[in-house]
Structure 1
Amino acid sequence: MSALLRIRWAIAAKTAPRPLINCNRCGTVKAYRCSEKFRVNANGKRIDVWLIYRCVDCDNSWNFGILERCNRRDIEPARLVALESNDPSLARHHAFDVVALRSRVGRVEEFPDVAVHKQRLGDARESAIGLELQLRLEMPTSLRLDRLLANELGLSRSRLQALEEKRLLVVDPDGAKALRKPARAGTKIRIDLAGQPDREAIISAAGG
């Protein structure tokens, strides 16, 4: 495909995963939200750190272990300051670590809502007959690729599937049912717009 308009989509999840925990106050399994607060406990040279979660209904607390019996000398000073000051970006980093959460509690509730920042790369808009969308993800998301494209481009998922079947939409790296899988960092989506009556609308929606 020639005359590609390249656009980078920087994708940030809006809602952190919520572990599902048996709340001893509610007496049943409840979702716990991240408080964005750390608990730092120092015992001599050893430090324990937890990220505090709270039940969405009764506010009961649960501690997600970040560091256990760690020697103070092994912690970068800047990181220790960030932990002790409840640095929001560090709390967000740990709150979105769904793999670590699952290893602790097994069941985790994930949310597909994202914010997409679009940046055009180059200036070939007028002559473009195709798009190349480059995905960058701050954190992993459970949002399916076809839903992301449908939401951002204003196209139905059935039309996206039809474009894929005609090889007018190609996902790189390719794979079985790529559109139905979660959006991943480093993915490139190329869409051939030659002959598409809504070419201009698609380009504008993409961020061109």
Structure 2
Amino acid sequence: MGMSLRIHWAIAPEIAPRPLINCNRCGAVKAYRCSDKFRVNANGKRIDVWLIYRCIDCDNSWNFGIFERCNRRDIEPALLAALESNDPVLARRHAFDVVALRRRVGRIEEFSDVVVHKQRLCDNSESATALELGLELEMPTSLWLDRLLAGELAISRSRLQALEEKRLLVVDPDGARALRKPAREGTTIRIDLSGEPDRDTIISAAGG
């Protein structure tokens, strides 16, 4: 590859996973959305903390346990204050904890919608003949890498596949069918655009 334009992509999911729960009010299995609100219940020295979810149809509540019968002394004062004030960053972190949610309810509805913040790391877009994209994920996503690249670069997934087959697109760390797997933290994608007539358009879309 020729001279590369290095661009950092910070990727944040938009919609939190929704547990699928048997709603006793609707009488059927429904998706529950995170309310971004905590419920803190203190009973003497013991504290219970839940993240509150609501049925998307009837607003019935369901509590996702964060701490159960926990000794107050075992919770940092700053963390307890964040829970009691419904800190949005903390609520978001727990809402996107797919592993914990799946352990509790089993079935989860996941979404691939993301926001991508792009930062150019060098100023050679006019002379660059290749792209080097570094991925930083705020949280894991189910969005396949080829869908992410196709959407952000405004090119087709079949074209990405063709570039990979010609070794003009390389994913590091590489793996079998890397494009058809979820985007991962720390992944670097290098694309040789030296022979592509729409080089400038792709570089601009990438954030160059």
Aligned sequence identity (%): 82
Of residues 66-75 and 154-163 in structure 1, the stretch that sits farther from structure 2 once superposed is 66-75
Q: What residue in structure 1 maps to residue 93 of structure 2? A: 93
Q: What residue in structure 2 maps to residue 195 of structure 1? A: 195
Q: Offset of 1:3 from its aligned partner?
A: 1.1
The residue type equivalent to 1:69 in the other structure is R
Q: What residue in structure 2 maps to residue 186 of structure 1? A: 186
Check conservation: 2:2, 2:192, Cα contact below 8 A. no
Structure 2: stretches of 5+ with no match in the other structure: none
Q: What residue in structure 2 maps to residue 76 of structure 1? A: 76
Q: Offset of 1:15 from its aligned partner?
A: 0.4
How far apart, in 1, do the equivalents of 2:122 and 2:154 lie?
23
Of residues 68-77 and 81-90 in structure 1, the stretch that sits farther from structure 2 once superposed is 68-77
Q: Offset of 1:127 from its aligned partner?
A: 1.6
Q: Offset of 1:7 from its aligned partner?
A: 0.3
How far apart, in 2, do the equivalents of 1:29 and 1:114 lie?
26
Equivalent residues in 2 for 1:12-161, closer than 5 Å: 12-161=12-161
The CA deviation string for residues 55-100 of structure 1, in whole angstroms up to 9 with x for no partner, is: 0001111000001111111111111101000011110000000111
Q: What residue in structure 2 maps to residue 173 of structure 1? A: 173
SS at match of 1:102: helix
How far apart, in 2, do the equivalents of 1:26 and 1:176 lie?
44
Q: What residue in structure 1 maps to residue 7 of structure 2? A: 7
The CA deviation string for residues 86-135 of structure 1, in whole angstroms up to 9 with x for no partner, is: 01111000000011100000000001111100000011212211101000
Could you list the structure 1 runs, at least 4 aligned residues long, displaced by more than 4 angstroms after superposition.
Answer: none
CA RMSD of aligned residues (A): 0.7
Give the alignment's TM-score, normalised by structure 1: 0.98
How far apart, in 2, do the equivalents of 1:196 and 1:2 lie?
13
Q: Offset of 1:45 from its aligned partner?
A: 1.2
The residue type equivalent to 1:117 in the other structure is H
How far apart, in 2, do the equivalents of 1:52 and 1:155 lie?
40
How far apart, in 2, do the equivalents of 1:94 and 1:190 lie?
33
How far apart, in 2, do the equivalents of 1:46 and 1:2 lie?
62
SS at match of 1:86: coil
How far apart, in 1, do the equivalents of 2:162 and 2:58 lie?
48
How far apart, in 1, do the equivalents of 2:194 and 2:68 lie?
57
SS at match of 1:163: helix
The residue type equivalent to 2:172 in the other structure is D
How far apart, in 2, do the equivalents of 1:173 and 1:74 lie?
40
